Amino acid sequence: MEKKKIAVIFGGCSPEHTVSLTSAAAVIRHIDTEKYEVVQLGITEGGEWFRFYGSPDDIEANTWRADRTKCIPAVISPDRDQHGILEFRMSGVRTTRLDAAFPVLHGRNGEDGTVQGLCELAGIPLIGCGTLSSALCMDKDRAHKLVMLAGIAVPRSVLLEKLPASPELATLAEDIGYPLFVKPVRAGSSFGVTRVESAAGLRAAVREAFRYDTSVLIEEAVPGFEVGCAVMGNGNLITGRADEIELSGGYFDFEEKYTLKTSKIHMPARVDEPTERRLRDTACRIYRTLGCRGFARVDMFLTPGRRIVFNEVNTIPGFTSHSRFPKMMSGVGYDFAALVDALISLGLEV
């Protein structure tokens, strides 16, 4: 039987480009090549698309473009009859039909519905969330509003679409209360996020957030600690064990997420069984409310009073063997290869 062709899309025009390379290399290494043929599609930081014929080691090392003979310019064809990619070779255009696409892209221009929309336009099944849910989950303000309508607590916040005059900004922040967070509405890996302890740092934090997006949230600092839950499935959902982020200070910013210099992740979370059950159930409710499909990681806060507050959904979380999503799923019996295989099967479901 002919192997199904699975495109793994990596890189992207995003500050999280190099994180995507590490995740994608791990995914490629764990795809069952007895069942599937992997089509490696790389996007440079400048937005060029190539089919890459080399090793995932070169993807991980960010040297995949060094040998240009292994990089063929390519695009996803919007023509649903072609149902795949076009490679622009010296000898002409070659078409490769795809059975599914697995975007392993983090942040803007990849996790936000843009690439998902391109795949859906082409009629190519997606491994992971679709266009609408990807866009909604990337937009913290809209995601919070929908989740709140579902009866789940969210942080108090105010939306800014321009930098207000200082007196107005001070009043908005005082209504939220210090400490607070200033965040771009649509950005990943905590880029542009600042914890603000007093009015002195507020205006600079808002300016920094506006560097990453045209809309900014001023959001309360929820007391307690951050917890996460891996969710997998289309109709019937499977949850991984919940995890917990222990911080020694500050907050879980980009550097801390990928180095864990001063923080620690506990998997499973250090909570009792009824609390973990509530976390997992709440994660499923959020996943369904935002229309997620395939897989996602739902991040929440657990307050000292054991109240669950929604934080955000990562529709393409980090995907190495030491990343949070695979570790949570390992807690319910999925090793990395089995997890990748299950996700591909979900993407191929009609």
**Is 276 labeled as ligand-binding?**
no
Domain that holds residue 178: 157-220
CATH of residue 147: 3.30.470.20
Do residue 122 and residue 144 come from a single domain?
no
**Is 141 labeled as ligand-binding?**
no
User: Quick check: is 321 catalytic?
Assistant: no
156 Cβ contact list (under 8 Å, min separation 6):
176, 219, 220
**Is 62 labeled as ligand-binding?**
no
Residue 301: enclosing H or E segment and its boundaries? strand 294-302
pLDDT of residue 208: 96
Q: Of residues 134, 189, 263, 330, which has the active-site annotation?
A: 189
pLDDT of residue 162: 95
**Is 268 labeled as ligand-binding?**
no
Residue 131 lies in a domain: no
310-346 per-residue burial string, b: 16 or more CB within 10 A, e: under 16: bbbbbbbbbbbeebbbbbbbbbeebebeebbbbbbeb
What is the mean pLDDT for each group of 10 consecutive residues in the chain (350 residues)? 95 93 98 98 97 98 96 98 97 97 95 97 98 98 98 98 93 96 88 94 96 96 97 98 86 54 88 98 99 98 98 96 94 98 94
Residue 71 lies in a domain: yes
Do residue 250 and residue 340 come from a single domain?
yes
Do residue 245 and residue 145 come from a single domain?
yes
8 Å CB contact between 176 and 309? no
**Is 158 labeled as ligand-binding?**
no
8 Å CB contact between 44 and 19? no
Do residue 118 and residue 44 come from a single domain?
yes
User: Quick check: is 189 catalytic?
Assistant: yes
Domain count, the chain: 3
Q: Of residues 16, 87, 111, 256, which has the active-site annotation?
A: 16
